[in-house]
A and B are shown apart, each in its own frame.
Chain A
Amino acid sequence: MKITLGVNGTRHEVDTAANRLLSDVLREDLGLTGTKVGCDTGHCGACVVLVDGVPAKSCCTLAVQADGAELRTVEGLSADGKLSSLQEGFQEHHATQCGFCTPGMLMSLTHLLEHDPNPDEASIRARLDGHLCRCTGYQNVVDATLYAAKKNASPVKMIVDSWGKRFYENQVRCLIAGDANRLVEENYLPDATVQSFDWTVTGHEALRAHFGNYMRWVKIIEVVSTDKFTETDNTVCFEATVRSNRGVVRVYDVMTLKDGKITYHFTGVK
């Protein structure tokens, strides 16, 4: 079968039998041997790659399932030989010994940091649950990830102007009012203000759907407290405790700036 795989930004046309695993096609057909295969039951995690941005075990995925997908593998993490913060953390903290499990861990942890720029030790360990490492005892992997989070946070300072501040206040107001449509219209539909902010928000539709669900499923009755509104380093986040039809819940979201681009991570309810 002819399939198309985007790998680390390059498009590949591959002719493969349907029964071949994604890991095999990456390693054998595309020569990307950085992805490792350590088991045959999907329990070691060495083969994890990102498929359309989502970690997947490439030994549990048929290559044909990834037809048309954009993949990221360990070979795509560094740019011009410059290690990513996470890779750098692995070296600083001696998080790789034999290095066989490392590529899978790097991919999962890259995904983690992109969605939770400031993870704590417990959430890093939880993320590593799908990865077996026989050399390190995991502690240095945790430390490497914490290092990367800190490094990502420190060098860029994000300035939230009065618009940004209004944006969040407005969001909380909308949540209270339960007016999803207004929220979406005022904040997410492209307009001059938003564009000037260089949003890289992907999938407006997804966000809108998410919010739609949010509003239908959690009716916010009142804000109990605004717990956090911080603009430290390159991250802005707010957290509020609200009383809803589902009891008292915390809503939060996070926005990060990296390489001059703002990424918006809607994370919903804790």
Chain B
Amino acid sequence: MNGERTLGARMKRVEDPALLQGTATFSADLSLPGMVHMAILRSTEAHAEIRSIDTSKAVNMPGVLKVITSADIAGKIMPLPCIWIPGGAESHFPSHPFGVPGAGPVLATGRVRYVGDPVAVVVAETLQAAEDALEHIRVDYKSLPAVVTAEQALSADAPQLHDEVKGNLNALCTYGDKSAADSALENADVTVQLETLNQRTINSPLEPRVSLGEYIPETGEYVLRGTSQSPHDHRLLLALMVLGIPYNKLRVISPNIGGSFGTKGYLYADMPLVLWLAREIGRPVKWTDTRRGLMRSTVQGRDQHMKGWLCGDKSGRITGLKVESLANLGAYPSTIGPGVATAMVGRCVTSVYDIPAAYAEVKAVFTNVVPLGAQRGSGRAEATYLIERLIDLYARQIGLDPTEVRLKNMIRPEQMPFDNRMGWRYDSGDYPATFQRVRDLVGYDSIDAAKAEARSRGKYLGVSVTPFVAVSGVGPSPRMSKEGMLGGTWESANIKIHPTGEISVIIGSKPHGQGHETSFGQIVADELGVPLAMIEVLHSDTKRAPFGQGSYGSRSFSVGGAAVLQAAVAAKEKLIALAAHIFNVPATHVTFAQGKLYPNNEPARAKTVQEVALAMWYGWDLPHGMEPNLDVTTYFDPPDFNFPHGAQAAVVEVDEVTGQVDVRRFFGVHDVGVQGNAMIVEGQVHGGIAHGIGQALWEGAEYGADGQLVTRDLATYALPRATDLPRFTVETTITPTPNTALGAKGAGEIGTVGAAVAISNAVCDALAPLGVKHIEMPLRPEKICLAMQSAAQNSRSSERKS
């Protein structure tokens, strides 16, 4: 190779021309001959007994083909399964006839448990006819008391949501050393504590979900087209556990996805319904969600009610940490919700710090709200929020600068690999270096002048510098089985060189905006020395791809990319072996450079990769034992997780009267190991930061005491807009991980993990002169005003006392 490497280069995305010209196909754009439309009647009650459902009027409406309720599918469509259960703990689930943990019936059976629970569906010739008919289904509900928070659900007199789950407790999971943490707390000079609700958020990808089912009688094959972040996982679970059909008779195709951030990796009732109905009716059945439908049925995020105790000495040395958290799972366990809500919080609470005694326990609890799933950075963002808020409180208590306290306790590079005592083994990275860099970028040492200047304008200025580490790259399959994952978590790749020279790379992973077609292509282009334009990356069709998984937990590039690299390396080895045969030299005497192979020092005899591959296709003269064709499939199962890390700094201004927060500047230094495309990594970081800022300042799913979702659409649920956000200044460092073949770490969630607390800490820093210690997210102006007012009252009353 000479010149710039393809891997890591800021290459323009190959996906873009279609997306920019409106020719890229999304699920909602799909139409099949004879297609009919499904609409779902969702529960309007948070918790109620279904006394009766009268569909007689709806079924006779014009254009209506079928109306079904749970009675029509009993024994035909099984309940959804839950496949990530809390590992190493006793857990309780709704039942499932196949003996796996259940995740609730496809259509509410006897009882509804949240506003949005699917109750009945209508299939009609047009969507309009289906929607018209929905209005004529009469459901007689007998309201039952509802619980909205995890705390309420655990109380003695709380209604029981599932017969199989006593006291609504799914599981109690513990991590770390309880007695060590208790003893550290008992013997500490200083202890700070915080109780906080990491509020429930609604992921809000711009594209609502879609499922389009087709049944092909000729082959007995079902085809699901739709918004699936994990088409292979969905294929297995739907075939094996929900529809009870052979694995090879279900094909899942997922076209372009309009954002997901975790939500579209879950199983939803509409998926088996459209497939089953397609066979029943004999025509393709399409269901398209609306925004309001999404808000009350697609999995939501966060919702950890946390208590933390941090202790240390007066010099700033942290000696212990204890965390108790209540995870609000919602009405049913989502596909992987219980695992995400427990391990991803409990094992992450110590973050980048070397804390000698730490313990965390998470209780996962059922309530009458939308099921909980993943939201970009899930678990890690909540854990990071708690520890970073606690450290600020601790630093303030002992009168030290919080950045100094952080550095004092931060894991040093020479401690790598580092056992965090909670179950993770951090791989690599210079945590203090990224932290120092961000501290310099934000101009931390001269921030007092900026604060004074802001005061002259009626603003309080605050700053924060927060480090973070985020377990990524799910995951080593044997380890994940111990974490309660009922399935493998390896990833796959296939490389084919066509006789005409083009290269297809087929991956098991699935993009939803991350540009896999570009960055995965860059791996192969880099390794084989061929132009990116010669390479196509295919994905998202279970019939075309080898066995695969999907994208979640920042695993696509770090785990799936590793599989691609392995395939490219294997392809290269085979090309060299054939070239050695052609040139009649030993393989060690073949030079492979810039897509060409030649005997060492004889570049004039070079043959291109394509020429050698064509020789394999003809198969006229292959070395003994070599099979024809260049067609390599590999699987990669990482030996351990990977741990991208970094630090972010925020500068905010708070209006002294109105409490309005203005994010003035935002800096970040992120280390995701080896990068596939630096521009794409930067884009992921930008988007991640925006999510974090969104949670800190505006976002929050609000339920009434009756379980009604108040934030039910984009007119009531606030997402960050362009005028709300500042320009981000981001840099990266590159510390490869030993745990993936590429040295790549996860990049999709890293921006989010620290961003919310970076904003929260900065706002609390801004208001510190008033005596404000903590304000809960979202940091809405009203809440800030109240905090400022009560701080002012406290200081007045303490003045009177002194």
Contacts and interface: CB of A to CB of B under 8 A. Distances in A.
B28 A134 contact: no
Interface string B1-39: 000000000001101110111111110110000000000
B32 to A, nearest CB: 14
A140 B259 contact: no
Interface in B454-509: none
B204 A134 contact: yes
A106 B686 contact: no
Interface in A128-154: 128-129, 131-142
A134 B22 contact: no
B727 A139 contact: yes
Contacts of A140: 683, 686
A91 interface: yes
B63 interface: no
A99 B258 CA distance: 6
Given A129-B723, A132-B206, A135-B683, A34 B714 contact: no
A132 B28 contact: no
A96 interface: yes
B604 interface: no
Nearest to B205: A134
Contact of A106 (B20, B23, B205, B206): B20
Most buried by A among B19, B257, B714: B19
Contacts of B260: 98
A102 B690 CA distance: 17
Interface in A20-73: 27, 32-41, 43-44, 46, 73
A75 B28 contact: no
B714 A98 contact: no
B686 A33 contact: no
Nearest to B689: A137
A35 B291 CA distance: 16
B342 to A, nearest CB: 26
B688 to A, nearest CB: 8
Contact of A129 (B19, B20, B715, B722): B722
Contacts of B205: 98, 100, 134
B451 to A, nearest CB: 25
Given A83-B17, A134-B261, A135-B687, A98 B256 contact: yes
Contacts of A40: 290-292, 713
A105 B256 CA distance: 18
B679 interface: yes
Contact of B728 (A37, A125, A132, A137): A137
A251 interface: no
A96 B680 contact: no
A37 B292 CA distance: 13
A77 B20 CA distance: 9
B23 A94 contact: no
Interface in B171-212: 204-208
Contact of A36 (B16, B204, B258, B290): B258
A77 to B, nearest CB: 7
B15 A99 contact: yes
A83 B258 contact: no
A137 B723 contact: no
Nearest to B376: A134
Majority SS of interface residues in chain B?
loop
Given A41-B714, A134-B204, A128 B683 contact: no
B256 A97 contact: no
A180 B713 CA distance: 50
A183 interface: no
Contacts of B290: 40
A92 interface: yes
Contact of A91 (B16, B261, B715, B725): B16
Nearest to A20: B128
Given A38-B207, A97-B514, A128 B723 contact: yes
B12 A92 contact: yes
B512 interface: yes
A81 B23 CA distance: 11
A62 to B, nearest CB: 14
Contacts of A91: 12-13, 16-17, 20
Nearest to B15: A99
A29 to B, nearest CB: 12
A126 B206 contact: no
A137 B434 CA distance: 22
A101 interface: yes
A45 B345 CA distance: 35
Contacts of A92: 12
Contacts of B29: 27, 33
A137 B690 contact: yes
A253 B204 CA distance: 41
B719 interface: yes
Tell me if A's interface is mostly helix, strand, loop or mixed.
Answer: loop
Interface residues of A, number: 53
A90 interface: yes
A257 interface: no
A74 interface: yes
A103 interface: yes
Interface string A149-169: 000000000000000000000
B19 A102 contact: yes
B23 A97 contact: no
Contact of A125 (B13, B513, B689, B723): B723
Interface in B693-728: 713-715, 719-723, 725, 727-728
Contacts of A35: 22
Nearest to A77: B21
A138 B689 CA distance: 11
Contacts of B715: 41, 43
Nearest to A92: B12
A78 interface: yes
Contacts of A36: 26, 28, 206-207, 258
Contact of B19 (A27, A73, A96): A96
Nearest to B518: A94
A87 interface: yes
Nearest to A106: B20
A141 B723 CA distance: 12
B243 to A, nearest CB: 29
Contacts of A100: 26, 205-207, 258-259
B714 A134 contact: no
B206 A44 contact: yes
Contact of A131 (B28, B512, B682, B722): B722
Contact of A98 (B28, B259, B691, B722): B259
A134 B206 CA distance: 7
Contacts of A99: 15-16, 19-20, 24, 256, 258, 513
Nearest to A84: B20
Interface string B404-421: 000000000000000000
Contacts of B687: 97, 134-137
B515 interface: yes
Contacts of A106: 20
Interface string B65-103: 000000000000000000000000000000000000000
B206 A73 contact: no
Given A33-B26, A38-B258, 14 more contacts: A44-B291, A94-B13, A96-B20, A97-B687, A98-B207, A99-B513, A128-B721, A135-B683, A136-B683, A136-B687, A137-B689, A138-B721, A139-B686, A142-B722
Interface of A: 27, 32-41, 43-44, 46, 73-75, 77-78, 81, 83, 87, 90-92, 94, 96-103, 106, 121, 124-126, 128-129, 131-142
12 contacts: A33-B22, A38-B291, A83-B21, A91-B20, A96-B20, A98-B206, A106-B20, A125-B723, A128-B723, A132-B719, A134-B261, A134-B687
Interface of B: 12-13, 15-17, 19-26, 28-29, 204-208, 256-261, 290-292, 512-515, 679-680, 682-683, 686-687, 689-691, 713-715, 719-723, 725, 727-728
A-B complex: 8 closest residue pairs judged by Cβ atoms: A34-B22, A100-B258, A98-B513, A99-B19, A128-B722, A137-B690, A74-B22, A137-B686
